[in-house]
Amino acid sequence: MRIEHGGRVRYERAFGRTRDDGPSLPCFVDTRFDLASITKVFVATIALEQVRRGDRGLDAPLTGIIPEWRGTDHAEITLRRILAHDAGFKSGADYRTLLDKDVEAFALAEPLAAAPGEQMIYSDLGFIALGAVVARTARRSLATVVGEQLNAWGAGSTAYLPRAGERATIPATETDAWRGSVQGDVHDEKAYLIGGVAGHAGLFGTARDVALLGEWYLAALHARPTPLDPEIAREAVREHVWDPVLRRGLGWALKANDDNSCGALMSAQTFGHTGFTGTSIWVDPVRDLNVVLLTNNVHHGRTDLRDIRIPVADAAVRAIDAEAIRAADAPGVRA
């Protein structure tokens, strides 16, 4: 767990061990977790960096990069649509139907569920397509593009494909009938079939690096140094698609109601993302607050983690608000 306020670490602590069903190691603050869908926000951020460099626009059709889409229902898809989850892609696919397929080619060719711009559908397939867009734009593998960019921005502990010697230090995720006990390989089945490198899942990283991801955007909002273009960063955390469950920015989810896993106390401007393995980041720009919780919850079953995520977020808000009240009431402080 890591909590930052104003770009500074206010709390950081690790708990537990890498697994509870056999030999294990303790978790430390620099333990790397399977980030699951938080991968989407890292890859979205790198796609936005390609926009800043002029490699492409947010609103131009992507057929120049994905020629397979010419003359199809996909032809009007733009980067903005993919990032906001309203490009029309189906949500996903049962991995058991993909065992003999090229999963990236499947994601690019699968018929759309809706016309671009018509409907918000949270989509792994769309972000698999995003990974292809990022890699083809750079003319290098997605793992290389992401690894080099994150390293340049100071998040070098986050990458795809952990080395064999690192696997025992990574918290185990799920034990299933297909792969057995998963530890050090990506939990997401579609990403695993792609080779562990995908736009929707596959990154392993530390709480520090996930908090740094949030800080890049907070810094843009609060006039601190950031590697991102501040205007693009601000664009990414505003609402592009309304949804009653979670509104959508560009890559980011935006708080829609008090039932969201950021809890009732974080402001209405809060943005963040969760990962199926049990990871989350929630960022409250009003308070300049950044809350990261990394777990391997699926090691114990596919259960809803809101009963943990919400109290963590609420506790962080209460602590920061109480500190602000104490500072305002301190002698010599004028209201």
CATH number of the domain at 54, please: 3.40.710.10
Which range of residues forms the domain containing residue 181? 2-323
Is 146 part of a structural domain of the chain?
A: yes
Give pLDDT, residue 16.
97
pTM value is: 0.97
The residues pairing with 292 across neighbouring beta strands, listed in sequence order, are: 2, 281
Is 26 part of a structural domain of the chain?
A: yes
Structure tokens at 306: 């809101």
Is 166 part of a structural domain of the chain?
A: yes
Is 107 part of a structural domain of the chain?
A: yes
Give the whole-angstrom CA distance, residue 211 versus residue 263: 18
Mean pLDDT taken over the chain: 96
Give the whole-angstrom CA distance, residue 326 versus residue 180: 52
Amino acid at 297: N
Give the whole-angstrom CA distance, residue 334 versus residue 78: 50
327 or 26: whose pLDDT is higher?
Answer: 26
Q: Which of 313, 302, 300, 265 lies closest to 21, judged by CA?
A: 300
Give the whole-angstrom CA distance, residue 312 versus residue 293: 8
Amino acid at 88: G
Is 329 part of a structural domain of the chain?
A: no
Write out pLDDT tens, residues 261-319.
999 999 999 999 999 999 999 999 999 999 999 999 999 999 999 999 999 999 999 99
